[in-house]
Amino acid sequence: MKHLIIIATLMVSGIIHSQTNFEKGMQKAFSLWEANKWDEAENMFERIANAESDQWLPHYYIAQMNSLKSWSEKDANVLKAQLDKAQEHLNTAMSISKDNPELLVMQAHVLTNWVAFDGMTYGMKYSGKISELYSKALKIAPDNPRVVSGKAEWDMGSAKYFGQDTAPFCKDLERALELFANFKPESPFHPNWGKERVEQTVAACKE
């Protein structure tokens, strides 16, 4: 009986310990990121990802960081390596958390970066896939603001290109703004970004 208690105690404290570790780690990573220490933040996420094999969030943020970094990268080889790294971590995240709308949106972003990098090569290849990802995400989470706005912006891009009416997408974006206002992330570390961008686009819609 005594042993059992000790074991139980160890287990309880173990769980508490690891939860706090995860939260502490994530907090540290975010504060580094906020302080614009990207390398250090990314490395912290990597350490967390490595230590916590059942957490998709650190992988998600590594993917997002690499996806964002690729925007300002001039060296094509580095840029491809960054997008490949983002993809690698997304693959791991998606194997941990299946049919996760946030991951589907991030996957769409990574592919969009390939298209932006070399439209001639990747435009045709990934356009259909990106649309499919947004459609799938929308089926799973029709009220996720990042899903709604991501899909609307993507569709708006194509509509503009073909000279079609973009008004319905502006409407979707306005709806996304409302969704942003009411969005409650599952935990402090779950994705909760994207509102400002949509505000800008909606403002542009009204011009």
Partner 1 sequence: MTLNFSINRSVAVLWHQSKNEQFKSTITMKQFITYLVLLFTTVAIAQTTVNGKVTNTSGEPVFGANVYLDGTYDGATTDEQGNFSFTTEETGQQTLIVSFLSYETKSITNEVTTFTDVQIKLREDVSVLDAVVISAGTFEANDNSKVSVLKPLDVVTTASALGDFVGALQTLPGTSTVAEDGRLFVRGGDAAETQIFIDGIRVFTPYSPTPNNMPTRGRYSPFLFDGITFSTGGYSAEYGQALSSVLLLNTIDEPDQEKTDISIMTVGGGLGHTEKWNNSSLSVNASYINLAPYIALFPDRNDWEKPYRGAQGEAVFRQKFDSGLLKFYAAFDTSNLELNQEDINYEEGIDFKLKNNNFYTNASYSGVLNNNWSIKTGLSYTVANTDVGIIDSDIDNKEHSAHFKLKLKKRFSSRFKLSFGAEQFLTDFNETYTDESISASYGFNDNISAVFAETDIVFSKKLALKAGLRGDYYNTTKRFDVAPRASFAYKTSKNGQVSLAYGNFFQTVSGDYLKFDNDLKTQNTQHYILNYQHVSDGRLFRAEAYRKAYDNLVLFDTDMASFDSDYTNEGSGYAQGLDVFWRDNKSLKNIDYWLSYSYLDTERQYLNYPEKAQPSFANTHNFSAVVKYWVDDWKSQLGLSYSYASGRPYTNPNRNGFLNETTKSYNSLSFNWAYLLSQQKILYFSVNNVLGFNNINGFQYSNTANANGNFNRQAILPAADQFFFVGFFWTISDDGKDNQLDNL
CB of 69 to partner 1, least distance (A): 10
Q: Where in 39-68 is the site for partner 1 (CB under 8 A)?
A: 39-40, 42-44, 46-48, 50-51, 64, 68
Q: Does 135 bind partner 1 (CB under 8 A)?
A: yes
Q: Rounded distance, CA 64 to CA 69, Å?
A: 8
Task: Choose which of 3, 162, 184, 203 interacts with partner 1 (CB under 8 A).
Answer: 162
Q: Which is nearer to partner 1, 40 or 174 (CB)?
A: 40
Report the residue number, 48 or 179, with the smaller CB distance to partner 1: 48
Interacting positions 93-112 with partner 1 (CB under 8 A) = 109, 112
Give the nearest distance from C-beta 127 to partner 1 in angstroms: 6
Query: Minimum distance from CB of 206 to partner 1 (Å)?
Result: 18
